[in-house]
Amino acid sequence: MAQDLITPYITYQDFTRKIRGSAHMIVSFPNMGPNWVAFKTFFEKNGCEVIVPEPTNRNTIKFGVRHSPEFVCFPFKATIGDFKNALDKGADTLVMAVDCGPCRFGFYASVQERILKDLGYNNFRLIPLEQGDLLTFDWVKTLFKTSPFTDHKRYTSAVKATIFFLKKAKLTEDIQTAEGIFRAYEEVQGDTTRIVNDLLHKLDETNTLNGLRNFRTVIKDMFNAMDLDRTRDPLRVGLSGEIHISLEPYVNLDVRKKFGELGCEVHQSLSLYDWIMHKLHLNYHRKWFEHLAKPHLPMDIGGECQWVIGEYIDKANAGFDGFVHSYPFTCMPEVTARTIITNKLKKMYDLPVLYFSFDDQSGVEGMRTRIEAFIDLIEGRRKKYSDKEAQKEYGNHFCLECIKLVQAK
């Protein structure tokens, strides 16, 4: 009798599944900077409940470092920590991008699932999101697997999810582009960061196509309303590197912000949208980088290696003042890019370059000293060799619009 009164132990996931039906899932995904907005809409429009992972933090990294193979790359450790946080908050379905290599990324999902299960997290599924070639449309299977619908609705919700995802990913890229330009002119330090955060939350809350269509104007208006010193002639720095490290500010110690606050215009073409377009074979900008890199590296060897090389050459040709290459410690493809730039391209193109290799031991102060020294160097170089003719207009249409806005008044 007394036994009947004891409530059997039930996890939060099992409880929600019971009351909402077995098809209901609570989905989460790893962090990649501001791109949570696009991923959230992707699964919400597909009909799922979503848990946005809490921002990557010290405990996330601690967990990842403690439970990952010692020499695995840093993004593996950071993302497994994000998964652990999401599971603790009640997620029962994790989605992780997978590829067929060519580097260690190919085995992230299966090893992470195994580690989490060995640690006692048994009530979850890790669903791979196939991203090797998006034109095979294997990624649609992930949408169907996470969809609560079994009838025609799963097709309409998958189309809706894809449209909103692409639009929000593009607008997130635009926010990143504007951030890189406007921060170099801000009068009050911190204004740009505040506007970026406001815009991301506004974008998250905008759920109509009309609202998204007008969102670029909102981005421009908000940045342009800041107090700006429009007389500045900032140094132009290109930022490139491995995708997770480049986009997640906690793991790259917010390198973009640091350069901006020291008065540099930061041009970073790498974004989630840029990657998706590449995987849909529609990214002609990346094809240009591949063309430039071809004499030095004829094939994709993983990471962003080939494109980092192409981008270094492209930015040197456009008269940039400096180039920053960020990558995770032990990342084989990016170390290859670094070697090619140092031993060959630096001598040919003479664009100063600063490398950052990030892991859990990276510290802010050492990084700041290196950035300040680098800026002194490129400032001196500009004074000595300043050739206005060589400084070509650079950036996509939206980037050029932002530059015109800054110079307008």
* Binding stretches for ligand SF4 (CB under 6 A): 73, 75, 103-105, 242, 302-303, 328, 331-334
Query: Strand pairing partners for 270?
Result: none
- Nearer to ligand SF4 by Cβ, of 68 and 142: the residue is 68
Q: Choose between 234 and 303: whose C-beta lies nearer to ligand SF4.
A: 303
Q: Which is nearer to ligand SF4, 104 or 170 (CB)?
A: 104
From the CB of 328, what's the least distance to ligand SF4, in Å? 4
Q: Between 113 and 186, name the residue whose CB sits nearer to ligand SF4.
A: 113
Sheet containing 125-130, strands listed edge to edge, beginning at the edge strand earlier in sequence? 49-50, 26-28, 93-98, 125-130
Query: Shortest approach of ligand SF4 to residue 278 CB, angstroms?
Result: 14
Task: Choose between 99 and 186: whose C-beta lies nearer to ligand SF4.
Answer: 99
CB-nearer residue toward ligand SF4: 203 or 331: 331
Nearer to ligand SF4, 45 or 77 (CB): 77
- Min CB(113)–ligand SF4 separation in Å: 16
Which of 333, 395 has the CB closer to ligand SF4? Answer: 333
How many Å separate Cα 223 from the centre of its chain?
21
Q: How far is the CB of 178 from ligand SF4 (least distance, A)?
A: 27
Measure the CA–CA gap between 143 and 120, rounded to whole angstroms: 27
392 burial via Cβ count (<10 Å: 0-12, 13-18, 19+): exposed
Shortest CB 351 distance to ligand SF4, Å: 23
CB of residue 75 to ligand SF4, shortest distance in Å:
5
Distance in angstroms (rounded) separating the CA atoms of residues 93 and 59: 21
What angle (nearest 5°) sits at the alpha carbon of residue 319, between those of residues 314 and 325? Answer: 55
- The minimum distance between CB 242 and ligand SF4, in angstroms, equals 5
Query: What letter does residue 394 receive in the DSSP assignment?
Result: -
Question: Cβ of residue 273: shortest distance to ligand SF4, in angstroms?
Answer: 19
Q: Hey, what amino acid is at 220?
A: K
Per the CB < 8 A criterion, the answer to whether 325 and 241 are in contact is yes
Q: How far is the CB of 143 from ligand SF4 (least distance, A)?
A: 24
Closest CA to 278 of 259, 248, 253, 300: 300
Report the relative pairing of strands 93-98 and 235-241 from DSSP bridges.
unpaired
CA distance 84 to 383: 50
Among residues 84 and 338, whose Cβ is nearest to ligand SF4? 338
B/e letters for 165-188, b = 16+ CB within 10 Å, e = fewer, are bbbbbbbbbbbbbbbbbbbbbbee
d(CA 260, CA 368): 12
What's the rounded Cα separation, in Å, for the pair 135 and 150?
24
Distance, CA of 166 to CA of 149 (rounded, Å): 22
Neighbouring CB atoms inside 10 A of 197's CB total: 12
Q: What DSSP character marks residue 132?
A: S
